[in-house]
Amino acid sequence: MQPRFLFSALFSSAFLVACSLTLSAQTAGADAHPSSTKHSPFQPAAKQAPGAAPDKVWVNLSTHVYHCPGDRYYGRTRNGKYMTEVEAKAAGDHGPRGRSCFNK
């Protein structure tokens, strides 16, 4: 056998094995969690950040949306802080879907 032919045959075999392993790994990964794409990618923190008060809102500093007490994201987003609703509005933040938390 010629060295050139032997090299191309070995390279082709190795390439086919690598492709089949990659394809089988991708297929197995797709079947492992079929329902994971149906849920929102964001999962709030398990514990609420310390410092909550009934007159404070939680401002998500990344999205500039503030969350009211009792909201599922209140005190639970990764990058946020507590402040009064007036302070949040003065900083340019807004409530969920444009609503106010406290009617005054």
What is this structure's pTM?
0.56
Residue 45 domain-assigned (yes or no)? no
Per-residue pLDDT tens over the stretch 12-27:
665 555 555 555 555 5
Instruction: Determine the Cα–Cα distance for residues 46 and 31; give it in Å rounded to an integer.
Output: 28
Residue 42 domain-assigned (yes or no)? no
Q: What does the angle CA 11 – CA 18 – CA 2 come to, to the nearest 5 degrees?
A: 10
Q: Can you count the helices (H) and strands (E) in the chain?
A: 2, 3
Residue 49 domain-assigned (yes or no)? no
Residue 34 domain-assigned (yes or no)? no
Give CA torsion, residues 45, 79, 34, 15, to 10 deg.
Answer: -130
Q: Which pLDDT band holds residue 50 (cuts at 50, 70, 90)?
A: confident
Instruction: Tell me the one-letter amino acid at 86.
Output: V
What is the total count of domains within the chain?
2
Residue 22 domain-assigned (yes or no)? yes
* Residues β-bridged to residue 94: 65
Residue 74 domain-assigned (yes or no)? yes
**Mean pLDDT of all residues in the chain?**
75
Residue 17 domain-assigned (yes or no)? yes
pLDDT above 90 for 51: no
Q: How far is CA 81 from the centre of its chain?
A: 19
Residue 36: its pLDDT value, please?
Answer: 47
Residue 16 domain-assigned (yes or no)? yes
Residue 81's domain spans which residues? 56-98
Judged by DSSP in three states, 22 sits in: helix
pLDDT above 80 for 99: yes
